[in-house]
Copies of this chain bind each other. A is one copy, B any other.
Amino acid sequence: MKKANLFYAQSGGVTSVINASACGVIETARKNKGKIEKVYAGLNGIVGALKEELIDTNKETTKVIASLRTTPAGAFGSCRYKLKSYSENKTEYERLVNVFRAHNIRYFLYNGGGDSQDTANKVSHYSLEQGFPVTCIGIPKTVDNDLPITDNCPGFGSVAKYVAVSIKEAGLDVASMCESSTKIFVMEVMGRHAGWIAGAAGLASEKEGDAPHIILFPEISFNHEKFLRKVKSCVNKFGYCAVVVSEGVQNRDGSFLTDTGGTDAFGHAQLGGVAPYIANMIKDKLGYKFHWAVSDYLQRSARHIASKTDVEQAYCVGKTAVEFALAGKNAVMPIIVRGKGKKYSWKIGEAKLADVANVERMMPRDYITPDGFHITEKAKKYFAPLIEGEDYPIYKNGIPQYARLKKVLEKKKLKNWKPS
């Protein structure tokens, strides 16, 4: 087979280990120089392909590529850009294939969530129709852990570890102060639709009385009275109450809790997140002094406290994606398959992009306790191995040293792209 180039793009919200997947891709491609000439990375994801802004990763040193393994966020840039459907906008697919053709790109590896796998699947079909078949392989990534078929998603284990460690530490802080000061701590975590991240925070609760005492899931309709009763009983029993709340927690009518919030100085419908909302509600009804935190991007970029398991899996799906491509597979995605044994083990499996695309996996109801406020033992068994192990970055002067890429762009061969 003639040598061809590979195009790799990062898509959607980034994670602390998506660059570990990139590292797996590039290092594996470099080991197969007989087949893959260059790995191009899209500058800011798929937009980089549309704009013909292709980062020539051959210009990056071995050392810098290796350091991607310990670098959070999207080193090549990511984007929130979903290709329209064929019928709506065929020109985007045409453009992609034209760019691929111009740069002899025969492999397209797309590192993202369900939307992205849908796109990769479509590009695979469309390129075939156009007589320039491009092998399209998905690489799973999402902090939300909501992809189907795979046991878990790279990116999730590290955010899970971050939230569990954070609520453990903040819980100890509140426990110290609760006799005479703060009795309530509310930490808001990501997860608009599914409570995977909020649930993982429950791992911090190793013994009875440990924080978090209450977890609020998007899957469970929020019940003010029941919640306040639970808060009060925690304070009575443990002296304080640590709450983890998913940003997606909803009222019984399906609206987000914060939709009922106040306005800020500029008249915006919503100033704070759901954490201050919940904390103020407790203060208002029960009078307890509170603190709250919203970790937002900190949680998904916290490479300094990444899960070793997560890093290894992220690297491995990147590596395997290249191997799949070279083995002639197409429109598939490497997935994580959990071993059946008592001791946690995992191996790589394979899923069709068509089966992964646009399907959201929710947390099973039996992962949540009957009262709706915590996780079950079954959930803990699922979550625990995903946060196992530490994998620290290298520090200099007290600061982690993250990859700094040159990002040299390949010379353009086509006319500028005008989005329609």
A-to-B contact residues, CB < 8 Å: 10, 13-14, 16, 44-45, 47, 71-75, 77-81, 161, 164-166, 168-170, 172-177, 179-181, 185, 187, 203-204, 206-207, 260-268, 271-273, 275-277, 280-281, 283-284, 291-298, 300-305, 307, 384, 386-390, 392, 395, 397-400, 402, 404
Contacts and interface: CB of A to CB of B under 8 A. Distances in A.
Contact of A72 (B44, B169, B384): B169
Contacts of A389: 395, 398
Contact of A280 (B81, B271, B276, B295): B271
B398 A307 contact: yes
B292 A296 contact: yes
Contacts of A177: 13-14, 74, 78-80
A271 B265 contact: no
Nearest to A157: B398
A396 B359 CA distance: 34
A166 B389 CA distance: 20
Q: Which of A47, A172, A187, A267 has the largest count of B CB atoms less than 10 A from its CB?
A: A172
A197 to B, nearest CB: 15
Contacts of A388: 397-398
A265 B274 CA distance: 12
Contacts of A176: 10, 14, 73-75, 77-78
Contacts of A293: 294-298
Nearest to A396: B206
B303 A169 contact: yes
Nearest to A18: B176
Contacts of A267: 262
For this chain, the copies found in one complex come to 2
A277 B265 contact: yes
A262 B260 contact: no
Given A271-B272, A272-B276, A284-B268, A399 B179 contact: no
Contacts of A168: 399-400, 402
Given A176-B78, A179-B47, A264 B280 contact: yes
Nearest to A305: B304
12 contacts: A16-B169, A45-B180, A47-B179, A71-B172, A73-B176, A80-B180, A170-B298, A172-B301, A173-B297, A262-B271, A386-B398, A387-B397
Given A284-B266, A297-B293, A14 B80 contact: no
Contacts of A304: 165, 169, 305
A86 B45 CA distance: 67
Nearest to A203: B399
Contacts of A180: 44-45, 47, 79-81
Contacts of A402: 168, 172
Contact of A264 (B16, B174, B262, B268): B262
A75 B75 CA distance: 40
A298 B295 contact: yes
A185 B386 CA distance: 29
Nearest to A294: B294
B260 A181 contact: no
Contacts of A185: 297
Given A276-B272, A400-B165, A392 B395 contact: no
A93 to B, nearest CB: 19
A252 to B, nearest CB: 16
A389 B165 CA distance: 20
